[in-house]
């Protein structure tokens, strides 16, 4: 592993640990002006400050497991990228953002697997077992390819649609929907994509 790759994964682990804690963050300011932050509010005075991204409930990610799974699933990712004419670095970026290479990742919304397929998306692309890494990556890659075709190879819009659904992008006049999660998601994937392109 190169020093650059090591730094990338160390940075990734610092980003993912708080996101994978699986709880929203709530803020309460008491009468003395003291700020209290918690993921388990015990009265109605708290206001939600941060909604955890994707709301993963089962993903347990560490630097070691992410690095190991990245190597393990790289041939699968490369094959899917070749079939659907996409850069492998892009798929790695999406998978990093979606599941951090955890094939058992499950979101509170019901998305499952490496590329976090929802039930309807899995059905559309013939993925019977969303926890099967090969099937999950094949379905997710085909979906991403179709989104790129739909949005004239506009990567930003395709990524926004992957996160929020194509109808959300269409209803917003072919622009990124004004959802903080989607805006953050697009930025993260693009950052990871640029990082992976330098490595590959």
The pLDDT tens digits for 125-165 are 999 999 999 999 999 999 999 999 999 999 999 999 999 99
Compute how many other C-beta atoms are within 10 angstroms of the C-beta atom of residue 157.
Answer: 22
Catalytic residues: 98
Q: To the nearest whole percent, how much of the chain has pLDDT over 70?
A: 69
Alpha helices per DSSP H over 48-179: 63-83, 88-98, 119-124, 133-150, 155-164, 166-171
Residues 6-43 pLDDT 10s: 444 444 444 444 333 334 555 666 677 666 666 566 77
Q: Which of 46-55, 83-92, 153-162 has the lowest mean pLDDT?
A: 46-55
> pTM (2 decimals)?
0.72
Domain boundaries, the chain: 3-20+56-199, 24-53
Locate 122 and state its tokens.
């899995």
C-beta of residue 162 within 8 angstroms of C-beta of residue 149: no
* CATH number at 3-20+56-199: 1.10.530.10
């Amino acid at each position: 592993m190169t020093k650059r790759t090591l730094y990338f994964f160390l940075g990734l682990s610092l980003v993912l640990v708080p996101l994978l804690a699986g709880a929203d963050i709530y803020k309460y300011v008491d009468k003395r002006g003291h700020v209290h932050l918690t993921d388990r509010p015990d009265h109605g005075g708290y206001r939600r400050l941060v909604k955890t991204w994707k709301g993963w409930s089962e993903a347990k990610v560490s630097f070691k497991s992410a690095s190991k799974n990245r190597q393990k699933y790289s041939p699968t990712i490369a094959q899917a990228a070749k079939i659907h004419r996409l850069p492998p670095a892009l798929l790695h970026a999406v998978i990093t953002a979606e599941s951090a290479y955890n094939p058992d990742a499950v979101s509170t919304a019901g998305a499952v697997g490496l590329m976090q397929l929802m039930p309807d998306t899995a059905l559309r692309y013939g993925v019977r077992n969303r926890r099967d890494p090969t099937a999950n990556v094949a379905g997710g890659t085909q979906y991403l390819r179709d989104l790129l075709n739909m949005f004239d190879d506009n990567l930003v819009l395709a990524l926004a649609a992957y996160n929020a659904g194509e109808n959300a992008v269409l209803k917003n006049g072919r622009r990124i929907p004004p959802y903080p999660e989607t805006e953050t998601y697009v930025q993260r994937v693009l950052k990871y994509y640029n990082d992976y392109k330098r490595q590959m």
